[in-house]
A and B are shown apart, each in its own frame.
Chain A
Amino acid sequence: MLCRACKKKEATVFLKLAVNSKVVEMHLCGDCAPYAADGSFGGLDIEPMNMAGQGGGACAFFKEFLPRDKRALSCPACGLAYHEFKDSGRLGCAGCYESFAPQLSELLTRIHGNCRHTGKRCGPTAGAPAPERTRGAARASSSVLRQALKKAVENEDFERAAELRDRIRKLEGHG
């Protein structure tokens, strides 16, 4: 049986959903199934597809039963889907490294023969503070740091946010 959504691949998943007192049954292929479950699927004209409003629980539950490479992985920070990365070879943001960590570990090992950085380190402990800093530099970096802080808060990365807040305070002479 062909997948009801793409009508190209063999259906390997039988999906039965009960939403708003209606039961919907679908035969889907592994590629289309995750999209059907999370409501991001435009090709089907049936109401229960809109699962986003149901808290996405069905989607998460459903994905657990899919083979790892068929799950609709995406980066919560920038929205890049893993299949987009596979097509373009380019990641969307630094957060992608965390979002796709298992896949990237495998890929990086293939590319570099290793997936652990052993070189120069970066961060507050990496180097001594600059001996002197011009006002222009302080302004430039504080605006960039503020943007980074906003992003860290959005991503609920509070440890990073606290670190950035301290750096901004120090830079602006409050710390």
Chain B
Amino acid sequence: MARVTDSFRPCVTWANSGGKWPDMIFSTRVRLARNISGFEFPGRARPDALGRLRDGALEAARSTRLFTRGHYIRTAALTGPEKNFLIERHHISHGLAAAERAGAVVVNNDENLSVMINEEDHLRLQSVEAGFSIEAAFERVDRLDDELGRMLPYAFGEKFGFLTACPTNAGTGMRVSCLVHLPALSRSGQMPKLLENLSRLGMTARGIYGEGTCVIGDFFQISNAVSMGRSESELCDGLDRTVSNLMRLEITAREKLAAPRVRLKTEDGVFRAYGLLKNARTLSYGEFMQNISLVRMGVAMGYPIRTDFSTLNQFTLLMQPAHLEAMSGRRLEPEERDAARAEYIRKNLP
């Protein structure tokens, strides 16, 4: 039987570098949480109702021109490694992978637009763009929302807006986020204070895979924590301002790392990381991310390492465990994975 992972291209366009601050901003995502009127939320609905809803939502997605060529995947048919691959690709969440119910995901061919069905909410619409592109990401998901909303009766109330299983998402149902790389701020010890300030602004910082995940390789997902009482454009503007301010702080922190007093130490750290990646025979994902983070910062600071941000972004995606297994075409033991990762990086890091 063909594996789901075989139908996906190894690289995705949203992992290419682009937009403003390509050295610091990996990607921009917008997700909208929607529920269908007349059905209980997935956590409470009966399995047969969820099955009907899934089939109706799949049919509705199929009829939008946005998914003419795409992947239509029912989660019940997925193996563990296939689920992990889709999690690493950010197409499904840990929650949907673990839920034993009639779930599904639809992903377009460019892998920049998707709908998760029967996760915490009936529908989770998501669009992703390379770099810092809040407007483009919002426009695409908003168009999908309009198209699906004409076919499916959304649960919406005049006062509370779009009604979601968790009240933290009610109102717009929107979460707009940027995946940013902040190695200098992380090393400066300013992050705890900054994270505190973010929460005062109605913003939050999470790990690379979203809610409840840890920070790896100095990548932070910055997003709105508040979804009600502000319009979609206000939420987009808020994230734009917050991320722009963070970028300025990161630039200042990088300038400090390049100051004559500490320059040698910084350079030494970057080239040690580069040397490790170029020579290691086994590399765990954590170790890889920790070192590629320093190399990435070195490239941004103009050190003579002949690579670019698109290559480094694709490495970050491809070196994840399930991606390595998909590339090798078989199940790998953890030691085999670490060896395969080290070998790939040795060969492909310029």
Contacts and interface: CB of A to CB of B under 8 A. Distances in A.
Interface in A67-119: 78, 80, 88-94, 97-98, 101, 104, 107-108, 111-119
Contact of B155 (A94, A120, A121, A140): A94
Nearest to B42: A90
Given A90-B41, A108-B228, A119 B174 contact: yes
Contacts of B43: 88, 90, 92
B60 interface: yes
Nearest to A131: B150
B69 interface: no
A160 B151 CA distance: 16
B171 A89 contact: no
Contact of A93 (B44, B150, B171): B44
A42 to B, nearest CB: 22
A137 B63 contact: yes
A114 B151 contact: no
A127 B150 contact: yes
Interface residues of B, number: 59
B39 interface: yes
Contacts, number: 177
B160 A150 contact: no
Contacts of B120: 90
Interface stretch (B161-169, B251-259, B299-307, B316-324): B161-169
Contact of B229 (A78, A114, A121, A151): A114
B71 interface: no
Nearest to B32: A120
B329 interface: no
Contact of A147 (B39, B59, B165, B226): B39
Contact of A92 (B41, B159, B160): B41
Query: 8 smallest A-B Cβ distances: which pairs?
Result: A114-B229, A117-B161, A148-B38, A140-B59, A137-B63, A94-B155, A151-B38, A141-B151
Interface of B: 35-41, 43-44, 49, 52-53, 55-60, 62-64, 120, 142, 145-147, 149-168, 170-172, 174, 202, 226-232, 235
Interface of A: 78, 80, 88-94, 97-98, 101, 104, 107-108, 111-123, 126-127, 129-130, 133-134, 136-137, 139-141, 143-145, 147-152, 160, 164, 167
